[in-house]
Structure 1
């Protein structure tokens, strides 16, 4: 049994009668979570691919833990991508086991008769198992076939091994790390979607630390704030879009009393927003850099680094973490010196000691103290009449406008210039501004070729489950088609 599977099983049995998950105002115990997991696990053989139509609910958490405790492979299926696409995805996967709610199984899965089907309700209702035809299992190395966020195209799956997940949620010494001896008295809040690695990571981290948690169906300001006031967690996690909602809300320092740090990742967060959050709430924002392909984070801020370095390193995403190595290289792969801009390469600690360098599409620089700055995506650069425009630079300039809550910038084809930047804007509550006023605002902040040729002000920017702007949907707004 892998160390991660053993940790999950051991923690579920630590203190069965106490609280494990709060959902919709009701607490479920570790016994309820363990019993549901054991029932679902009875349908899983080690190494078996198990399709999970994942939603943020206690029964889906039980299903995730069941597959991992049994040594199976979770194949993440997003039940909110549109019925036809989901059906086509499931048909192509030809999964031997499928787990979901009765409605999801009936409306979306249409599993073949050979598949084992597990229908789940709430933790008080035993799952219904319809056995299928036994199949030969695989080697059992893959823990989760995780969906990427799909910001620039259809989501794809990345195989995360048991070792990779264990490094992220237990630590680099996961084979020898001491296990918790009792359930923690501190309550965490999980508001990230389980169909994204951030949700899976946070749930598994809570389980491996024997920490009870509030599970929210999605980030919603009022319910999130109520949970923070009720349990005063020491740390909370907010994607940039959610952090800006909190920042622009009527919440005050008393609402976040007890919170010592906010962690933020998945998308760029400006130093101005981080500073504004600290000024309003007195809480430091610890940004990080991660990717599904890495199996989690590879760089981030610590509280100690924030106290010592933030003023001189603001805007950085922190230093290498979890045993990762970072470097910046030229287009030809030649390593560059401190402070030089190039493509970021990573040796994730989650990939093991003999890992190869992974080249990203992110432009970056690393200073002499090891702090990393992400400067934009090389593959999203817009070439306008021979000039390079980085969408993140334009987005950051727009988001500094006092009326703008969020922005997304993409390239649109132009017969004369080849491509021009266009921007979608979401305004803060009660604010108003015209596209002409925004253009005038940008004239003193950007080069003329960086200013968007078109600005669309919308009620809400379309986003992926991880909170990133859905660039395909943004582009379709302007062009009527995918790029």
Structure 2
């Protein structure tokens, strides 16, 4: 079989539509046509070569969102080198551990970084940008094999230990195809990108689909609810696609300038990374906004997504949609045998969007895949008779109360429907009578005086009695990763410490 080479969508559109608008950087108000973006990518290959970056080398970044992050990533792909964007929110000791793991040749950082590993050069990211602007475009390089490592993204570490997920040009292209078909991406698309580019959402899902289709990417250095509301309603920008985690969507709704009637060009709010309670999806629909849930992760890319039909969104509220055209999904029992439609089991995923594995982590690679190559998501869910996927919870979050399996996400969805609950997470804690019982951590809405008893009463008609939390802890906020996932291991540790 002939080798498949890495796609180069910017080069394609520099030829198809050279004057088409490729990118806008909101921090500088600078704009790039596809011809200009292609030239800057070639300039970046010149600069990177001057810094001794070669095929297979890793280049780490600690930097805020910018179009130059896109330029860097595309340049490294052309060179057969590897982009490793790191979370700029991490403390220096945390960054140092990740740098030791990926062993970069070059570190590009906005701020003073930890001491780079031996043999790693360090350049300020702003200096790199200036060098790109001043350089001559390098020669066109031969296409690289699509199976080469192109990006390493470190997971958020909800279990406390980040892992480097390997992405290839092939896996990112497969995610692009899945996402583009499921979310109706076309050449007229305009993506607003304010999700951090050290996460899959910011670097891949918000970038590759519009680049591949020849659309426009608007890059914001960070998320700000009021600024994002204004941009979604800006007719001159004409944003068609906005992808965020549910907590970002809720922040938009709470902002003083929230006015979804002004979002005239927006096809939908596309959400992922955390559960979206059905009640909230219907709340958004009642205000004219389609909130479209999808299913994916750094490891598997975009696997599924809801159709954009408002009727289907309402009918299947709580679903993460249908499998993408390049993804196969199956639900299995504890022996990896398929279960009937509608039955609960672990979700397995297969397809070209799935990672080939974790960087420098043989043990995790062995545990992550079945013998026949399916990726173990660790998620418990079901697929209904119509093919729609419903997530119940992470397998590791399930607890057993009085002999019954309890999935916290079901309990969280019930609690989230209470009008005084702003945010909620449920964990299982040791219980002398029941073995384990639920403990709810609740962020109440401003000025609310809601009590544990009122929340119990609310849940009684919605979920089985054994699922109702035995305790409620009211908190100011929940600990979350940069991608919006609740760090439940911290809550569980806190609950156990109080016993």
**TM band (smaller chain):** 0.7 to 0.9
* Local SS of the residue matching 1:396: helix
Once the two structures are overlaid, the 10-residue window that deviates more, 317-326 or 139-148, is 139-148
Please point out which of 297, 307, 332 is paired with 2:302.
297
Alignment length, in residue pairs?
457
Whether 2:35 is the aligned partner of 1:29: answer no
* 1:330-345 pair list within 5 angstroms: 330-345=333-348
**Against the structure 1 CA distance between its residues 467 and 414, is the aligned structure 2 distance closer, same or farther, given a 3 Å change threshold?**
same
> Shift of the alpha carbon at 1:359?
2.9
1:177 corresponds in structure 2 to none
Whether 2:238 is the aligned partner of 1:221: answer no
* Cα contact 2:22–2:214 (8 A) shared by 1: no
> Shift of the alpha carbon at 1:22?
2.4
* Local SS of the residue matching 1:121: helix
> Shift of the alpha carbon at 1:468?
1.7
**Against the structure 1 CA distance between its residues 51 and 318, is the aligned structure 2 distance closer, same or farther, given a 3 Å change threshold?**
same
1:140 & 1:46 partners in 2: Cα distance?
14
* Cα contact 1:55–1:194 (8 A) shared by 2: yes
Whether 2:170 is the aligned partner of 1:204: answer no
Q: Deviations for 1:369-403, whole angstroms, at most 9, x for unmatched residues?
A: 21111122222111123232111011111110111
Please point out which of 155, 175, 179 is paired with 2:162.
155
* 1:44-193 pair list within 5 angstroms: 44-101=53-110, 103=111, 106-108=112-114, 110-121=115-126, 125-126=130-131, 141-170=148-177, 186-193=189-196
**Against the structure 1 CA distance between its residues 355 and 141, is the aligned structure 2 distance closer, same or farther, given a 3 Å change threshold?**
farther
What TM-score does the superposition give when structure 1 sets the normalisation length? Answer: 0.84
2:424 corresponds in structure 1 to 407
* Cα contact 1:100–1:118 (8 A) shared by 2: yes
Whether 2:366 is the aligned partner of 1:366: answer no
RMSD of aligned alpha carbons: 3.3
1:245 & 1:232 partners in 2: Cα distance?
21
* Local SS of the residue matching 1:423: strand
**Against the structure 1 CA distance between its residues 127 and 415, is the aligned structure 2 distance closer, same or farther, given a 3 Å change threshold?**
farther
> Shift of the alpha carbon at 1:39?
4.5
2:180 & 2:264 partners in 1: Cα distance?
33
1:420 corresponds in structure 2 to 437
Q: Deviations for 1:52-75, whole angstroms, at most 9, x for unmatched residues?
A: 224323333332232223221222
Q: Deviations for 1:225-275, whole angstroms, at most 9, x for unmatched residues?
A: 111122232232231112223334452333322222221111111221111
* Cα contact 1:40–1:66 (8 A) shared by 2: no
1:439 & 1:52 partners in 2: Cα distance?
47
Whether 2:351 is the aligned partner of 1:348: answer yes
* Cα contact 1:299–1:317 (8 A) shared by 2: yes
Whether 2:238 is the aligned partner of 1:235: answer no
**Against the structure 1 CA distance between its residues 465 and 122, is the aligned structure 2 distance closer, same or farther, given a 3 Å change threshold?**
farther
2:9 corresponds in structure 1 to 7
What TM-score does the superposition give when structure 2 sets the normalisation length? Answer: 0.82
* Cα contact 1:40–1:63 (8 A) shared by 2: no
Please point out which of 256, 260, 284 is paired with 1:277.
284
2:145 & 2:174 partners in 1: Cα distance?
22
Q: Deviations for 1:196-243, whole angstroms, at most 9, x for unmatched residues?
A: 111111123333333332222332211101111222322322311122
**Against the structure 1 CA distance between its residues 27 and 3, is the aligned structure 2 distance closer, same or farther, given a 3 Å change threshold?**
farther
Q: Structure 1 unaligned segments of length 5 or more: list them.
A: 129-136, 175-179
2:44 & 2:449 partners in 1: Cα distance?
50
* Cα contact 1:328–1:344 (8 A) shared by 2: yes
* Local SS of the residue matching 1:51: strand
* Local SS of the residue matching 2:438: strand
**Against the structure 1 CA distance between its residues 16 and 269, is the aligned structure 2 distance closer, same or farther, given a 3 Å change threshold?**
same
* Cα contact 1:12–1:34 (8 A) shared by 2: no
Whether 2:268 is the aligned partner of 1:261: answer yes
> Shift of the alpha carbon at 1:124?
6.0
* Cα contact 1:59–1:120 (8 A) shared by 2: no
Whether 2:462 is the aligned partner of 1:462: answer no
1:171 & 1:98 partners in 2: Cα distance?
32
Whether 2:320 is the aligned partner of 1:314: answer no
* Local SS of the residue matching 2:122: strand
> Shift of the alpha carbon at 1:321?
0.4
* Local SS of the residue matching 1:259: coil
Whether 2:469 is the aligned partner of 1:452: answer yes
> Shift of the alpha carbon at 1:428?
3.2
**Against the structure 1 CA distance between its residues 117 and 83, is the aligned structure 2 distance closer, same or farther, given a 3 Å change threshold?**
closer
**Against the structure 1 CA distance between its residues 427 and 123, is the aligned structure 2 distance closer, same or farther, given a 3 Å change threshold?**
farther
1:12 & 1:138 partners in 2: Cα distance?
21
1:131 corresponds in structure 2 to none
* Local SS of the residue matching 2:55: coil
> Shift of the alpha carbon at 1:412?
2.2
**Against the structure 1 CA distance between its residues 376 and 171, is the aligned structure 2 distance closer, same or farther, given a 3 Å change threshold?**
closer
2:30 & 2:448 partners in 1: Cα distance?
39
Q: Structure 2 unaligned segments of length 5 or more: list them.
A: 134-143, 356-370
* Local SS of the residue matching 1:21: strand
**Against the structure 1 CA distance between its residues 48 and 372, is the aligned structure 2 distance closer, same or farther, given a 3 Å change threshold?**
same
* Cα contact 2:189–2:216 (8 A) shared by 1: yes
